[in-house]
Chains A and B, each alone.
Chain A
Amino acid sequence: MALGPGEQGPWTRLSIGARVVLAAVLALVATVLVTWVAERSALRWRADLTADAENTLHPATSKVLAELPREIEIDLFFSLPDAPFQLVGREVQDRVRRLARLFADQSGGRVRVEDHDLSDRTRLAPRSQARRHELGLTGIEPGGLAAVSAGGRRQLLRLRGDFSDLDPGNADPRQGPVRPPRVAGFRGEEALLAAILKVSEEHAPLVVFTKGHGELDLESSAERGAALLVRELLAQGFRTRAWDGNAGAPFPADADLAVVLGAEQRFTAPEFEALADYVERGGRLLVALSPRTVDGAASVEELLGRFGARPRPGGIVCTPMPSATGALQTGIPQCAYAVVGHEGMPAQNPVTDPLRTAGQRVMFYASRAVDRAPAPRSARVLDLLRSSPESWFETPAGGADRYDYAPDPTSERTRFTLAMQVVFPPEPGRAPVASGDPARPEARVLAVGSVDALANHLVVTNRDFIANAFDWLASREYRVRVDSREREARRLDLADPAPVARVHTVAVVLLPGLCVLLGLATWRKRRSTR
């Protein structure tokens, strides 16, 4: 309706203008309010239209999300995947993003997701940098990772290995039919769920470190200190405590696992017996060995020998190091490093399987070889990490710790066991440990040949191995089985050019061409009717 002659004054127009602005503001508020209300989980309705139910969480996941005891944050730090996984890596990133969003949507606000795009490092938001610092993320590999955290605890999940298995395919026709890289398996839901369970559980397992025998200093930030290990364990949801048995303190009854970090002196007899008794009653023990042999009664060697693992005395394992030209070098101190790849790890093992599938390696320094010894009744002994086949056993050339890092002509070149796992039932008739798992009462021992593998200078490199090892020892294997979600492969055969050519004809020639023809016909018709 037009304004009448008497209604065209400036005040009338101002009043109408104000009313219009008010109406627009109210409409904006209503829009924001409606979208906010629509996000409330109680009012939401959703339907998964996909044929493979890709967007529907497993009932076990939904149950966990519905009963979460605390708020969970999922930080996605995704970057460009490395070759040849650029495309499939992005596909996995995309699926993880959607999955994380699904977790957030179904948790009723208990799970929050933050996506930090690391693709463009020049524009990295201060917020992302701050979160990386908070979560203790120093280096992020190509492709990136997801951090699941609650309070001070966090779990890191990698694109390759944790979320998915990626098949590099074959780009070389000489090595068989050319295949593009593909996602061989996607288990994002299971990985996220396990991480959420770990960071949200009420019980924090207690790790007891022995002290007073030359072990690594738990508070030292020096290269051979263990401050980073302790920080990593706290972040993983463990508690830590030092046990000074020398001072006569009793072994903590609430210990979930005992750790000996490179003891170089013998234990006292009561300490030794307390440790042995704890393990024999179903306790968990990790012994990381110092390069120096400590033999005799009440030594770590004797302790491990009692459970089926015997450190080989008098030397360390060395491996030839590749030079810049690719030739293998010996006679240099770097030969004391042993890098264990997937070929030195068993499959189907909770400690090494994630490392194998992720293509990750474990680095040891000045590692002892661990041999098998008579094991307790019904024990299962497994060589967990083995050196490369070119390794040799290096003995000091003149005096303790003086190595020339060169194999003797008579040196045996073989794989040495650098870490050994032993599992056995507790001794019958004895009271099981207080913290034991009643569902699966068993003692678990892990002998690690190199204490340096757990020291500050190698903790970041071996972070996943350490996390898996401690999780296994503390029975933190969350087996909420969620089936791997495989998208049914719907692929055109690119080896045959005909199908793609046909799609090209339809999509690029026929459809646009038809529009051009119809447009021309319309134009001609219009001209002729004028």
Chain B
Amino acid sequence: MSGFLAIARRELAGLFVGPLAWALLSIALLLQGWLFVLYLRTSGGDVDLSLRFALGESWAFWALLILVPPLLTMRMISEESRTGLLEFLLTAPVSDAAVVAGKFAAATLFLALLWATALVYALTTAGLGVPPDWGALLGGWLGAVACSALFVAVGLFASALTSTPIVAAFAAVILNLVFVTAPLLGGLSDQPAVRRAVARIDVIDHHKSAFLAGVLDSSYLIFFVAWTLFFLFLAVRAVEARRWR
């Protein structure tokens, strides 16, 4: 546990010491903020609807989710593998799982912080006399964090597969795109079995029809937890495989 915490702390500090995280955060917040104000104007000032857009109803949210986690995780394992730091880390008295989990926790926490800016928007409108539906906001934020966790796990898996960060980022973006677009493409099929199968990995639907609607449903929660654990398991295996080389 202490190994996991130490790695998570180190990764989080590493993120905020480097310029990449700040650059990503600035760009993401600028886009999110601009779109939030735009939604506010086009929805006739509807605060809840605008917050929903910021937390999953808009294309911008999914674009950020597809791109930001791979950019955050691309160096986490592959770069360390290239520089030899990973070998050093793997010889330390921490398990491979703790290494992967620590990095996962740091990246997920970073994204949770990014989505928490919706809370700042909400506090601003509340300060202006229009408080949002706090419960729905909490649900939306939890869903955004759950989606982020899944995509961070995908990113770590990709990062563990290669020693070139840019290749890791590219692979993770492709995997994320598959997750996001497969249900859309599957919906075009006239085979019910195909549609049912792809509906099982429909991340957008799982986020929108539960969390974003303000519902905490164990089934939807387990969906994200299970798939996140699956990719983390693959990432651990991939890290482990480096020992054989």
Contact = CB atoms under 8 A, between A and B. Distances in A.
Interface of A: 1-3, 13, 16, 20, 23-24, 27-28, 30-32, 34-36, 38-39, 43-52, 54-55, 87, 91, 97-98, 101, 105, 115, 117, 123, 125-127, 130, 180-182, 487-494, 499-500, 502-504, 506-508, 511-512, 515-516, 518-519, 522-523, 526
A47 B223 CA distance: 16
10 contacts: A23-B233, A27-B234, A28-B230, A49-B135, A55-B215, A125-B189, A126-B190, A490-B133, A492-B125, A512-B29
B229 interface: yes
Given A490-B47, A512-B33, A507 B244 contact: no
B115 interface: no
Pairs A-B, 3 closest by C-beta atoms: A519-B22, A507-B33, A49-B135
Contacts of A43: 218
A20 B244 CA distance: 12
A130 B190 contact: yes
Contacts of A493: 45
B225 to A, nearest CB: 9
Given A35-B226, A519-B22, A49 B215 contact: yes
A315 B4 CA distance: 90
Contact of B41 (A39, A500, A507): A500
A125 B214 contact: no
A507 B48 contact: no
Contacts of A46: 215-219
Given A47-B216, A507-B32, A508-B30, 9 more contacts: A2-B244, A51-B134, A54-B213, A87-B42, A87-B43, A492-B125, A499-B130, A500-B40, A500-B41
Nearest to A501: B37
Nearest to A130: B190
Contacts of A490: 46-48, 130-133
B37 A507 contact: yes
A269 to B, nearest CB: 58
Contacts of A48: 135, 214-215
A519 B215 contact: no
A492 B47 contact: yes
A503 B215 contact: no
B44 A97 contact: no
Contacts of A503: 36-37, 40, 121, 124-125, 128
B179 interface: no
B163 to A, nearest CB: 17
Most chain B CB within 10 A, of A34, A91, A506, is at A506
Nearest to A516: B26
Contacts of A526: 17
Contact of B40 (A32, A492, A523): A492
**Residue from A127, A503, A516 whose CB has the most chain B CB atoms within 10 Å:** A503
Given A38-B222, A49-B214, A494 B44 contact: yes
Contacts of B26: 512, 515-516, 519
A428 B223 CA distance: 64
A50 B47 contact: no
Interface string B110-137: 0000000100110011001011111110
A244 to B, nearest CB: 45
A217 B67 CA distance: 64
**Max chain B CB contacts within 10 Å: which of A55, A87, A180?**
A55
Contacts of B190: 125-127, 130
B227 interface: yes
What's the interface size class on B, roughly?
Answer: 35 or more
Given A38-B219, A49-B139, A490-B130, A123 B188 contact: yes
Contacts of A515: 22, 25-26, 29
A120 to B, nearest CB: 10
A31 B189 contact: no
Interface in B39-77: 40-49
Which of A27, A117, A493 has the most B CB atoms < 10 Å from its CB?
Answer: A27
A489 B237 CA distance: 50
B120 A494 contact: no
Given A31-B227, A125-B188, A518-B22, A38 B45 contact: no
B3 interface: no
B47 A51 contact: no
B133 A508 contact: no
A31 B230 contact: yes
Nearest to B16: A522
A516 B22 contact: yes
Contacts of A500: 37, 40-41, 45
Most A-side CB within 10 Å, residue of B17, B19, B29, B227: B29
A2 B87 CA distance: 11
Nearest to B216: A47
A38 B234 CA distance: 22
Contacts of B219: 35, 38-39, 44, 46, 105
B45 to A, nearest CB: 4
A515 B25 CA distance: 7
Interface string B188-208: 111010010000100000000
A295 B219 CA distance: 68
Contacts of A44: 217-219
A47 to B, nearest CB: 4
A492 to B, nearest CB: 4
A504 B37 contact: yes
Nearest to B128: A499
Interface in B153-202: 187-190, 192, 195, 200
A284 to B, nearest CB: 41
A27 to B, nearest CB: 5
A470 B81 CA distance: 74
Contacts of A180: 44
Given A32-B200, A515-B29, A519-B26, A91 B49 contact: yes
Nearest to A523: B19
Nearest to B32: A507
